[in-house]
Amino acid sequence: AYNFGTLIQEPAYRKAYALYFKKFIEAYEKEGIHIQAVHIQNEPVSDQKFPSCVWTGEELRDFIREDIGPLFAESGMDTEIWLGTLNCPYEDYGGWEWQKTNFNRMANLVLRDPEASRYIRGISYQWGGKHALYDTRRAYPNVEIIQTENECGDGNNSWGYMEYIFHLLWFYFEHGVTAYVYWNMVLKQGGLSTWGWRQNSLFCTDGDRLIYNPEFYLIKHVCHFVRPQASFMRIEGSFANNTLCFRNPDGSTVVVVLNPLDTEEELRICVSGEEWVFCAKPHSIQTIVIEK
């Protein structure tokens, strides 16, 4: 839908749309592909240059409570239903009528309804949705939250923007997300999308040449050392907001440190009464692995 188009909010249309989800999942299952989860609408407060659909909190609640939730339950489907991908209270770069899309008018409105929330596996946030993370975690400490789309920049793939992404990672994990989804993996040099937006990526291609961009090295620092099922560890200190700390299932501790300053910094890490001292070069990333 374009020009702030929406789904026609009448029972017959909503039920048909829920059935479309079911048939989509079943068709993939026949091809040997299991759909683990569906997120009801990508960025439900945005009207975009590509196919989009605007939803209110009330409409999301009713669709989950009365249509897709009961249909999945009656059909014995194990595909999860997630409330997302929410990009509000602020649409992307800030903007329109945020009072109508704030936490109380979107996520909280849906989750406070017991008949809707019983079908919801978790919440997914991206872009402007980060402004609802604190409220969501305080109100629903046991609800799983994931981040579903990295903020993809302007195509310059600068070191400075990589530092911004480091702090996005920190912000989301600090507020309890269990997954962070990077966007994009690989684009042509310049990163021009089909709708005219230049974006960052882990890699760029230039003919037959593969270029490693700064955000690749950030993601590698985390993904190479942090294992599945690791736990995020909150830490204290003057560099805490520049530090990602994880405890792996084997008991090892992974500390990823960004020095965003123009000066070399001497830093100390204290774990279980032991101390390690190292120097971090200006605008550098360091990873320290402390074995159990």
Question: What is the rounded distance in angstroms from the CA atom of residue 120 to the CA atom of residue 125?
Answer: 14
Contact 222, 182 (CB under 8 A): no
Indicate the DSSP class of residue 64. Answer: I
pLDDT for the residue 5: 81
pLDDT for the residue 89: 86
Indicate the DSSP class of residue 66. Answer: I
Question: What is the rounded distance in angstroms from the CA atom of residue 247 to the CA atom of residue 181?
Answer: 20
Distances in Å between the Cα of 131 and the Cα atoms of 43, 126, 127, 171 are 14, 9, 9, 10
What does CATH list as the number for 11-229? 3.20.20.80
pLDDT for the residue 13: 98
Contact 140, 134 (CB under 8 A): no
Q: What is the pLDDT along the chain (292 residues), one digit of tens a residue?
A: 566 788 999 999 999 999 999 999 999 999 999 999 999 999 998 888 778 899 999 999 999 999 999 999 999 999 999 999 999 987 554 555 656 688 999 999 999 999 999 999 999 999 999 999 999 999 999 999 999 999 999 999 999 999 999 999 999 999 999 999 999 999 999 888 888 899 999 999 999 999 999 999 999 999 999 999 999 999 999 999 999 999 999 999 999 999 999 999 999 999 888 899 999 999 999 999 999 8
